[in-house]
Structures are given as C-alpha cells and as structure tokens.
Chain A
Amino acid sequence: MSSLFVGLMSITWQQIVMIGIGAILIYLAIAKEYEPSLLLPIGFGAILANIPLSAAITHGQEKGVLNVFFDAGILTEIFPLLIFVAVGAMIDFSPLLKKPYLLLFGAAAQFGIFFTMMVATLFGFSLKEAASIGIIGAADGPTSIYVATKFAKELLGPISVAAYSYMALVPIIQPPVIRALTTKSERRIRMEGHAKSVSKTMLICFPIVITIFAGIIAPSSAALIGFLMFGNLIRECGVLNKLSLSAQNELASLVTILLGITIACTMTAERFLQPQTLIIIALGLVAFIFDTAGGVLFAKFLNLFLKKKMNPMIGAAGISAFPMSARVIHNMGQAEDQFNFLLMHAVSANVAGQIGSVVAGGLILALVGSMF
C-alpha cells in the first residue's frame, strides 16, 4: 500500500515550486496568449518533469521519454533546424527586397545580444554561457535554442522561457524605450510609402544567393541560414505549394509541440531553481531593451547625414519578433499622427531583423567557438 504513496512521500518543495511555475506558464499561454504554442508545452513539460519519480525523465539507467526526445531532437539540432524550415516558408521577403537599405536596421537592432553577453560575463558566466544568454536578444526562439544547445545546454530551460516570454512582451517592452530615446517630432516623421515591386525570379534567387554568401563567409552559419532559406525557397519557387503549406502548418505545429515539451526536461527543480535563472531572465530583458535602443539610436545617427529624415522608430523594428514589433511601431506612429503610415517600412525592417538574428547567431557560433 505504501508504494502507492511513494510519489507523494518523496515530493520536495522545489518540485512544488516548479509545478507552480509550469502552471503559471500555462496560465500565461491561455489567459494572456503569450506565445501559447511554446509556453503551453513548456509549462506542461515542466509539470511532467517535476512530478516525483516521473517516468517522463531519466532516472539513473531508466530513460525517460522527454530525455529521449531531447537527445534525439535538440542535442542533434534537428528540432530547431526543422523550425527554421517552417519559419522560412512563412516569411515573405518581398517588403525587404523593395527597400533593401532597411537591412541596416536588422543589423543595428542586434546590439542587445552583444551588450548582454558582455554584461553576463560580469556576473561570472563563462563566455559560452554569456553568448547563449545574450542570444535571447535575437528575439528568435529557434536561434536561441540552437546556440544554447551548442554552448550551454544546461541553461537551455531558462534561456528558452526568457526568449519566448519576452517575444510575447515586445508590445510592452519596446514603447517606453522608444519614447525615452525619441522626441515627439521625431516620432511624427512620415516616410515615403511608395516602393517598386520585385520580380518572381528575384524572390527565387534571393534565398539561394544569401545561403551561398553566408555559407562561404561564415560556414558555421550555413545550417541556420541554409534551413531558413530552404524553407523560403520552397515557398517562393511556385511549384511546391503543397510542401510550402505543409512546412508552414503541419511541420511547424508538430515540431513546435515536440520542441516545447522537450525543452522542459531541462527544467527540473535542481537545475532551474538556481539564482542564475533569475539573472538570466533579467538579462533577457536587458537584451530586448538594448536591441530596441540599438535600432533607434542607429536610425538617429543616420538622420545626421540624411537630407530627408527617417522616422527613428523604424530602427526598433529591426528585431526579429515578427510581426509584433512592426505593429508596435506602426501603432506608435499612428498615436502621434493618425495619417502617419509606418507599417510597410516597419515590416521591411522587421523582416531584416529575422535575417539579422540568424546571422548574429551564426557569427556568435563562429567567433565564440574560435576562442576555444
């Protein structure tokens, strides 16, 4: 009879706290709709991983299914790369191809990644751990997971939770930072709306050319960019509509479910309930704030040399959180001037941010990897 209560008898307060954290993540996913497709599986997985003696995770020689998925899908990088195929199939690069100069904002708005990496080293994290924490600022879950898997898999749980939580909180994080760095008159600057169209051939060539360029310059980024661009090629080629729809829907859904619940196997009480988890979550916020600041300040810097000034808020859309960031910028522009339509420019910068975050991930892998 006592064997029926063995689980109850062996539960620890740390496990109860983790089950509570899992429940909070599920609440945020359902009630607040904060990245529900990821936070709900992560929350449920956290509960599953913290049930005393749970068969879902590995105990000694007995393999748990979550760890089997983790070893097969995350340590091998298969899940994040498959997500990249799905994301690539979802992205329409044409707004960016119409206004390619906005690529610069996709670069500037990655500043938070590197700034946060430097700050993290001051908290005693190793360079690899600091790089994995900084990459939360990529505002791109799969890139964060990919880099953390390579450099600091023991931190994968808090890094994933922070990355997806802050992506959902972009509408709350960005506006105060933008307001602090811009004047009312700058936020009212209107931007030229007209842009020429791009040819179908160019849309097809773009993912191929970018993959070759990026792969040759930084081979360590080849998998990240290659899978993203492969997904995009499926979308744009025009002869694989069925595959494109499958990548956007079935593949994305299946891998998202597995990715979320699998990451949770790193959220066991003894690994997650550490002071460093709170530091990582705080540093994730720093990364998002400095991404936004980097983009806005770079736009202001460019305005020093431009005759026709651009709205510096567009710089903040250079982060990868698509399309939330573009919507935030457009809404802020409309709040200042109801006839100010920034959406097209913001979307272009936002798409540039999606490329920028992946490039940043590849560069981090190459640069930090070369130091060891």
Chain B
Amino acid sequence: MFTQQVFDTFWNALVVTGQGMSGIFVFMGLFYVAIKVMDKIFPYKAEDEKKD
C-alpha cells in the first residue's frame, strides 16, 4: 500500500503543510500589523458616529 510514490507524495504534503501553516501565520501577523497601523492613522472619533 505504501509505495515509494505514496511516500514521496506524503513527503511533499508534509512540506506544503509546514510552509502553508507558517504562511498563514505570517499573513495573519501582517494583517494584524496593518490593522494596528491603520488604527493609529485613522483612530475612531465619536463624531464619526454622529455624522453616520
């Protein structure tokens, strides 16, 4: 059942898993930084709500 081809594919999947999970955390980390920066640049003001 576990032929060399299956093992190779599994190994590739393992590599994609490592890179993929790291990649998602990197993306989310960047989004977090972007949100924090935007929050500094465009802080919430109570007047905004009144205008809306």
Chain A 180-222 residues near chain B, CB threshold 8 A = 196-202, 205-206, 209-210, 213-214, 217-218
**Interface stretch among A14-22, A53-61, A126-134, A155-163?**
A126-134
Residue of A nearest to B39 (CB): A202
Q: Are A200 and B36 in contact (CB under 8 A)?
A: no
Cβ contacts under 8 Å, A209 to chain B: 34, 38
Cα A310 to Cα B25 with chains together (Å) = 19
From B1, B24, B29, B39, contact of A360 by CB (8 A): B24
Known: A117-B13, A209-B38. A360 touches B28 (CB 8 A): no
Q: Are A107 and B16 in contact (CB under 8 A)?
A: no
Cβ contacts under 8 Å, B6 to chain A: 121-122, 124
Report the count of interface residues on A (CB-CB < 8 A): 48
Cβ contacts under 8 Å, A356 to chain B: 24, 28
Q: Are B27 and A371 in contact (CB under 8 A)?
A: no
Q: Are A367 and B38 in contact (CB under 8 A)?
A: no
Per DSSP, chain B at the interface is helix
From A115, A122, A201, contact of B2 by CB (8 A): A122
Cα A168 to Cα B49 with chains together (Å) = 36
Cβ contacts under 8 Å, A122 to chain B: 2, 6, 10
Q: Are B31 and A367 in contact (CB under 8 A)?
A: no
Minimal beta-carbon separation of A157 from chain B (angstroms) = 23
Minimal beta-carbon separation of A239 from chain B (angstroms) = 13
Known: A117-B13, A210-B31. A367 touches B19 (CB 8 A): yes
Cβ contacts under 8 Å, A88 to chain B: none
Known: A103-B32, A197-B49. A118 touches B17 (CB 8 A): yes
Q: Are B36 and A100 in contact (CB under 8 A)?
A: yes
A364 interface residue (CB < 8 Å to B)? yes
Cα A156 to Cα B12 with chains together (Å) = 23
Cα A368 to Cα B13 with chains together (Å) = 8
A285 interface residue (CB < 8 Å to B)? no
Q: Are A117 and B16 in contact (CB under 8 A)?
A: yes
Cβ contacts under 8 Å, B43 to chain A: 199
A110 interface residue (CB < 8 Å to B)? yes
A-B contact count (CB 8 A): 120
Q: Are A121 and B9 in contact (CB under 8 A)?
A: yes
Q: Are A111 and B28 in contact (CB under 8 A)?
A: no
Cα A118 to Cα B9 with chains together (Å) = 9
Residue of B nearest to A111 (CB): B21
> Most A CB atoms within 10 A — which of B17, B24, B39, B45?
B24
Cα A355 to Cα B32 with chains together (Å) = 12
Cα A352 to Cα B31 with chains together (Å) = 10
A101 interface residue (CB < 8 Å to B)? yes
Q: Are B38 and A107 in contact (CB under 8 A)?
A: no
Minimal beta-carbon separation of A194 from chain B (angstroms) = 14
> Most A CB atoms within 10 A — which of B1, B16, B32, B48?
B16
Minimal beta-carbon separation of B5 from chain A (angstroms) = 9
Cβ contacts under 8 Å, A114 to chain B: 13, 16-17, 20-21
Minimal beta-carbon separation of B31 from chain A (angstroms) = 6
Cβ contacts under 8 Å, B12 to chain A: 121, 127, 371
Cβ contacts under 8 Å, B30 to chain A: 213, 217
Give A residues with C-beta under 8 Å from B: 97, 100-101, 103-104, 106-107, 110-111, 113-115, 117-118, 120-122, 124-127, 130-131, 196-202, 205-206, 209-210, 213-214, 217-218, 352, 355-356, 359-360, 363-364, 367-368, 371
In the A-B complex, the 5 residue pairs with the smallest Cβ-Cβ separation, listed nearest first, are A114-B17, A201-B42, A100-B35, A107-B24, A103-B28
Give B residues with C-beta under 8 Å from A: 1-2, 6, 9-10, 12-14, 16-17, 19-21, 23-32, 34-36, 38-39, 42-45, 48-49, 52
Question: Apart from A104-B32, A127-B12, A367-B20, what are 8 other A-B pairs with CB-CB below 8 Å?
Answer: A107-B21, A110-B21, A120-B13, A131-B16, A196-B44, A209-B38, A359-B23, A363-B23
